[in-house]
Amino acid sequence: MISEGNELFQKKPMLKSEDWWAVWLGLFVFLLSLGPIFGLDLLGWVVKFNVWADASKALAPFSASYQGLSGLNSAVLTYLFLLVVTTVGAVAMGARPAKYLVGFSIIYWIIFICLCVGNYGYIAATPDKQASLKIPWSLSLGEIGFVFAMIVGLIIGNFFLDFAKFLEEAAKPEWFIKTGIVILGAAIGIKTVGAMGLASTVIIRGLCAVVEAYLIYWPITYFIARKYFKFTPEWAAPLASGISICGVAAAIATGGAIRARQMIPAVLSAVIIVFVAVELLFLPWLAQSWLFREPMVAGAWMGLAVKSDGGAVASGAITDSLIRAKALKELGINYQEGWILMAATTTKVFIDVFIGVWAFILAVVWSVFCIDKAKTSNAGNKVSASEIWERFPKFVIGFALTFLILLVMGLKNPGIVKAATAGSDQANALRTFFFALCFFSIGLVTNVRKLWAAGMSRIVGVYVVCLFGFILWIGLFVSWMFYHGIKPPIVGG
């Protein structure tokens, strides 16, 4: 079960540490993802969830090399792979093998169903994809499968207590999410290589987003959460990261860095995903109305304002389509497709790159200044370097390694970028499962009454005040300041 407060973090052998097993498992998946660089498709069989209106098209193997494999068979192979690799780590950390195998199997197929339902077209499709699916409308809740997984976990954990107790052996939310973040580092690394090939002016302007998100958004949001909504630092720090930086990944990384209780990042992530859906419903149309004469400003604004990678890219794609259509109609200018989306994606990538750095900074700050010293072996004294190391989230090391390895490889040999991107995308399909396993597991071990007492309504309050009070508008101002006057190429120009 989730602990009710920060505990004394005693040194654990590496083979018993969830942090270290997250690093090793994440690096193993990362190594397999390098296969396409050497002409090997080692992860192409991983199941891919498509946004679907026709159930027969809901699943497919990730790579075209495995087209002969059915979507369901691909799902079974993904299950067997995850079962084997996680069982090795779980048993090493002390889990009972038989109980873990059965528990993990049940959890996997539950989250599998949740992810399938979450990708149903009327639920998940963004407006730019509705025509291809032949549907007239959708809720545009593209990442809602994670929320479904957490809701199912909450139902089991709060109403089917015996069943929940049986599954707890396989419910390891911190391990699952940290493994997923290690895998995420590779995706961000290769995206950064792609950004390096863009015009230098766009790269420099993308870097400004880092200053804004981390040095303006974060401290203001943290201050508001602490002073006016009375959140503890344990809640306020992940909340500030989730709202001001890049949503789910930032909230989770921050929670790990400060050793917050496991339920906190997941609760915050659920709120973030809902607000991302709200932003997707209106921000692209505001951009079309206000900024069709400044298309690159509009793209950067999507990257700064929408607090999830998928949401930011989706909003950038919608904005790209809407603004190009209006510019052609109102101004007679036919901009090339993809440049507005590029501004959104580049801005988001540079924000993402610094997640690990920010987690490291917060880990040190919390260790030195924010430890409850009554619960440490150094009570009343300065915190030792060894204690900082013990508290430091080791998954950040894995994140940094996967990021730097692909970044350096891509910069030294640009010819591998396409293959490395393909492998990274396959690994990210596995990351989706680790995130979903985390969400379900946290739901399973979360006591709803205690959760409500912690202040769900206040979380929404902080989000509304910060998002609509200053984040959207500062983001718009900064986007205008750095991208004003930059225009996409014109078709045939």
Q: Is residue 124 over pLDDT 80?
A: yes
Q: Is residue 363 over pLDDT 50?
A: yes
Choice among 286-300, 398-412, 452-466 with the minimum mean pLDDT: 452-466
Give residue 381's pLDDT. Answer: 44
Q: What is the pLDDT of residues 71-81, one digit of tens each?
A: 999 999 999 99
Q: Is residue 432 over pLDDT 70?
A: yes
Q: Average model confidence (pLDDT) for the chain?
A: 82
Choice among 98-107, 145-154, 190-199, 461-470 with the minimum mean pLDDT: 190-199
Q: How far apart are CA 32 and CA 62, in angstroms?
A: 14
Of the ranges 87-91, 245-249, 275-279, the best mean pLDDT one = 87-91
Q: What is the pLDDT of residues 264-301, one digit of tens each?
A: 887 887 788 777 777 877 899 899 999 999 999 999 89
Which residue, 298, 329, 319, is CA-closest to 480? 298
Give residue 210's pLDDT. Answer: 65
Give residue 34's pLDDT. Answer: 96
Place of tokens 């071990």: 445
Q: How far apart are CA 309 and CA 215, in angstroms?
A: 20
What's the gap between Cα 361 and its chain centre? Answer: 19
Q: Is residue 8 over pLDDT 70?
A: no
**Inter-CA distances, 205 with 176, 202, 212, 296, 487, Å:** 35, 5, 11, 11, 14
In the predicted model, what is the mean pLDDT of residues 110-138?
89
Burial 152-188 (b: 16+ CB within 10 A, else e): bbbebbbeeeeebeebbbbbbbbbbbbbbbbbbbbbb
> Which pair of structure tokens corresponds to residue 457?
């309504």
Choice among 79-83, 370-374, 440-444, 456-460 with the minimum mean pLDDT: 370-374
Q: How far apart are CA 244 and CA 215, in angstroms?
A: 10
Q: Which residues does 373 contact at the CB level (< 8 Å), separation at least 6?
A: 379, 380, 381, 383
pLDDT confidence tier of residue 389, bands split at 50, 70 and 90: low
pLDDT confidence tier of residue 393, bands split at 50, 70 and 90: low
Q: How far apart are CA 392 and CA 367, in angstroms?
A: 8
Q: Note the pTM of the prediction, 2 decimals.
A: 0.70
Q: Is residue 379 over pLDDT 60?
A: no
Q: What is the pLDDT of residues 177-222, one digit of tens each?
A: 789 878 888 887 787 776 555 445 555 666 666 676 678 889 999 9
pLDDT confidence tier of residue 377, bands split at 50, 70 and 90: very low
Q: Which residue would you say has higher pLDDT here, 360 or 373? A: 360
